[in-house]
Structures are given as structure tokens and as C-alpha cells.
Amino acid sequence: MIKTIRYNKNTALDEIFPRSQFEYEDINKKVREIIEDVKANGDKALYKYSEMFDVKLESLTVSSEEIEEAYDRIDEEFKEVLLAAAGNIRKFHEKQVRNNFFTNGKDGVLLGQIINPIEKAGIYIPGGTASYPSTVLMNVIPAKIAGVEEIILVSPPNKEGSIEDSILAAAKIAGADRIFKIGGAQSIAALSYGTETIPKVYKITGPGNIYVAMAKKMVYGEVDIDMVAGPSEILVIADENAVPENVAADLLSQAEHDRLAASVLVTTSEEIAEKVKNELVKQLERLPREETAKESLKNNGRIIITETIDEAVKISNEIAPEHLELCVNDPFSILGKIKNAGSIFLGNNTPEALGDYFAGPNHTLPTSGTAKFSSPLSVDDFIKKSSVIYYTKEALEKVKDKIICFAEKEGLNAHAESVRIRFEGGKK
């Protein structure tokens, strides 16, 4: 069910953990066709794909009455949980806010950087095999803090043709502006090109399955995207102090997301490796999503045994997991060696699920090794910067010859002339 590998210095890292390339080429082709179809045929294509993959729809729009009714229907206990989680997420993300800055301008030169929110953002909330109100909070709250004017949320409808109450309630709490019942690659195409019903946005954020992740990759350039946040991943580094029951439970917490999710244990302890393996079998049986988790462990599950924690860290840095748990005696002592990971969880009492729902940092994180070059979703994803430059004539005169020299070296005489003309009336 899960492969065990003994690492030694000669083992190639791509032998240890080749992320499953399962059906990727076929999916790629299919996603491209869906995007082209939506681009050409708008809503008509959306209704067609919704019927094909999800459910036949009468309308794509969720009305504000439907949102209010859903909010009223959810139970009080869950409402309080949503509000408390939203509070933690807001508090954490408010620390990410950047300010404009300007130089003092005393020398006749004023330089600065001003921040503007992205005006329209589209947020994808997965909904195919599970419902993710937590992802609503994680995406909408940073957009709201950044000051995005129009937040458009899309999510696939359930079999009854509606969006779960919990998603709509979370959207109301977080402050989404409009909600549409459409999922998959077709919804990403709709947000990228616009249709009769769905507005085109400037940036799309939010995680999803392989169809969604590939579609986001393909529309990048037409719109901006946050990252490739695909099937979930967890890597646990464990020494002999780890608790096998906890480690197994945490590995399964991500395996249950998707048959292409990845759960990896890297440990220096043979005993922990064996015990975690046995625990996985035991705990799997109790899971309602047993089949998904089992398939995920088969596709992308690994137990890797190393000699040292440094080797474990090296492997982890190479895999660059979405979530990394450090279940070792002194997790803080190895934190400084971690180079590539979306979110890092320290010690035996910090389960990954704490980050998924409640602690405050974002759970939309880079997957598939992209933590080597990208970061968790943040307020930064919903802003953009403009530079500001102001010179007085005296200040420009001091540097004019240098600019003219530079422009002429590049053979761009119109550039040189645009500076010269301000001092010599355009004559050489």
C-alpha cells in the first residue's frame, strides 16, 4: 500500500519520490479543449460541462437571498467556529499589509512606491469530492484586507444543483461579492475570458484538483494566478521521539483529500517507520474516505528511512512539500535548515489540520515542488505596486549627461533627446 525506501548517498531523489505522472497528458489535452470551448461559446459551454461533470443547471448565479438563507440555516456552533477561524486568519493576514513609501525629496528627487489592490479577483473554491468553507476564508479574507473591489467566487454545485450552505455562509462572513455555481477547468476559463454571466477578472486564486490546477497554468498570461495549488501534500520528518499514531493520522489527513495527494514520512527510526506503517492500515479502515486515501498512498505515499536528520532535511528540501511537519526532539534546531516548504509545523502537538482550519496562516500553499519558488497565498497576491518618480529641473540637470550618455550607448537617440530638449530647446 505504501512503499518503504532506504535512502543512501547514491540514491537519486527522483527515484525516491517521483510524483505520480498519472494520466497527466490526457488531462492536459482535455483541459485545453475545455478552455477553448468556453472562450468560444461562453455560458453555453459552461452549462454543457456542468451537466457533463457535475449536474444539470438552470442558472449559474447564486442570489444574495440564497446566501442569506444559507447563513441562517447553518448551526450556531459552526457559525461561531467560522467566526473564530475568520478572526485568526484576519489577524495574521493584517500583519502582511504593506505601506506606500517615499524618499524625503530634499534633494529635489522624490522616489516612491504606491500600492493598489487588484480591482477584480476570481477565487476558486473546490467542491468536487469535499466541501471547503475553510478555503473560502483563506482566500477571501486576504483579498478583502488588500482592498479588492470585486471578489468573484466560483465553486462546483452539488448533486442538487446548489452550493453547500457552509460555503455560502463562509463567503458572507469573509465578504465575497458575487458567487457562481461552476467548477473545474470551465470555471477557470470563464473567469479568464468572461462569459455572458461570469465577469472576466484580473487574477485567479484558490486551489483545486488536477483539472483546475492545469487550467490555471494554461490561462496564466491572460490573467494572473496565485500559484499551482493542486492536490494536497504532507511530508513528516520524524525521529525516535515522534508518536506513530499521530504521524499516521497526519499523513492520512492529506491522503484523504485526493487520489493524487502525497503523504511522505522521512524518518531516522526503523521502529517509527514500522509502527507508522501498521497504524496507517489500522486508521485507514476507520476513514469514510478510505478509498481515496488508499489510492493516494498507493500513488504518492512513501516511507523513507535515512541515517541522519540532515539527510531527511535534504530530501525534504528537494521534494519541497506543501506541508512539512517536524516531529523531532528539538524542531526549532532544524527550522533554519528548511529551504523549501509551503508551511512548516513544529513539534508533536502541531497537527497539519490546525493550519488547515484555524491557526491563522494561509492553507492555500504551493504544491508539486513549486515551494522551491513560490509562497503561501497572502495579501501580497491581491495587490500590485507602482513606482513613483519626481525630479525638479535642477535635480534633472545634475544627472542629464549620464542619462544622455547611457541612451546614446544603447543607440536610442530619442531617449537622449527627450532629456536634452529640456535644457537646450531641442538643439544639439
Ligand X SMILES: NC(=O)c1ccc[n+]([C@@H]2O[C@H](COP(=O)([O-])OP(=O)(O)OC[C@H]3O[C@@H](n4cnc5c(N)ncnc54)[C@H](O)[C@@H]3O)[C@@H](O)[C@H]2O)c1
Ligand Y SMILES: N[C@H](CO)Cc1c[nH]c[nH+]1
Residues that bind ligand X (CB under 6 A): 30, 53-54, 126-130, 132, 135, 156, 183-185, 207-209, 211-212, 229, 231-232, 257-258, 261, 363-365, 367
Of 322, 328, 376, 383, the one binding ligand Y (CB under 6 A) is: 322
Q: Give the closest residue to 179 by CA, choosing from 62, 335, 7, 33.
A: 62
A 10 A CB-CB count for 409 gives 9
Does 415 carry a binding-site annotation? Answer: yes
Q: Which of residues 34-63 bind Zn ion (CB under 5 A)?
A: none
- What binding mask, one character per residue, do residues 206-245 give for Zn ion by CB under 5 A, x or -? ----------------------------------------
Strands 3-6 and 301-305: parallel
**Does position 155 bind ligand Y by CB under 6 A?**
no
Residue closer to Zn ion (CB basis): 239 or 356 = 356
With b for 16 or more beta-carbon neighbours within 10 A and e for fewer, the 240-269 pattern comes to: eebbbebbbbbbbbbbbbbbbbbbbbbbbb
Residue 281 grid cell: 492500515
Distance of CA 81 to the CA centre of its chain: 23
What DSSP designation does 159 have?
A: T
**Does position 356 bind Zn ion by CB under 5 A?**
yes
**From 29-37, 132-140, 178-186, 219-227, span contacting ligand Y (CB under 6 A):** 132-140
- Given a contact cutoff of 8 angstroms between Cβ atoms, the answer to whether 325 and 334 are in contact is no
Residue closer to ligand Y (CB basis): 85 or 305 = 85
Q: Which helix (H) or strand (E) segment is 343 a member of? A: strand 343-346
Question: Shortest Cβ contact with ligand Y: which residue?
Answer: 232
**Does position 363 bind ligand Y by CB under 6 A?**
yes
Residue closer to ligand Y (CB basis): 34 or 341 = 341
CB of 353 to Zn ion, least distance (A): 6
| CA-based radius of gyration for the chain | 25
Instruction: State the binding partner of 361 from ligand Y, ligand X, Zn ion, none, CB within 5 to 8 A by kind.
Output: none
Q: What is the dihedral of CA 114, 120, 126, 131, to 10 degrees?
A: 90
Residue closer to ligand X (CB basis): 108 or 128 = 128
**Does position 292 bind ligand Y by CB under 6 A?**
no
Does 21 carry a binding-site annotation? Answer: no
Q: Which helix (H) or strand (E) segment is 174 a member of? A: helix 165-174
Q: Give the closest residue to 63 by CA, choosing from 143, 219, 181.
A: 181
Does 96 carry a binding-site annotation? Answer: no
- Given a contact cutoff of 8 angstroms between Cβ atoms, the answer to whether 120 and 149 are in contact is yes
Residue closer to Zn ion (CB basis): 139 or 195 = 139
- Given a contact cutoff of 8 angstroms between Cβ atoms, the answer to whether 170 and 137 are in contact is yes
Catalytic residues: 322-323
Residue closer to ligand Y (CB basis): 89 or 419 = 89
Residue 246 Ramachandran class (φ > 0 left, ψ -120 to 50 alpha, else beta)? alpha
- Given a contact cutoff of 8 angstroms between Cβ atoms, the answer to whether 195 and 42 are in contact is yes
Of 7, 49, 132, 180, the one binding ligand Y (CB under 6 A) is: 132
Of 134, 209, 268, 370, the one binding ligand Y (CB under 6 A) is: 134
**Does position 345 bind ligand Y by CB under 6 A?**
no
Of 186, 232, 267, 292, the one binding ligand Y (CB under 6 A) is: 232
CB of 257 to ligand Y, least distance (A): 6
Distance of CA 129 to the CA centre of its chain: 18
Q: What angle do CA 156, 368, 134 make, to 5 degrees?
A: 40
- Given a contact cutoff of 8 angstroms between Cβ atoms, the answer to whether 180 and 146 are in contact is no
A 10 A CB-CB count for 77 gives 8
CB of 132 to Zn ion, least distance (A): 9
Question: Shortest Cβ contact with ligand X: which residue?
Answer: 184
Residue ranges of the binding site for NAD(+): 124, 186, 209
Give contact residues for Zn ion (rule: CB under 5 A). Answer: 356
Give contact residues for ligand Y (rule: CB under 6 A). Answer: 132, 134-135, 232, 254, 322, 356, 363
Residue ranges of the binding site for substrate: 232, 254, 257, 323, 356, 410, 415
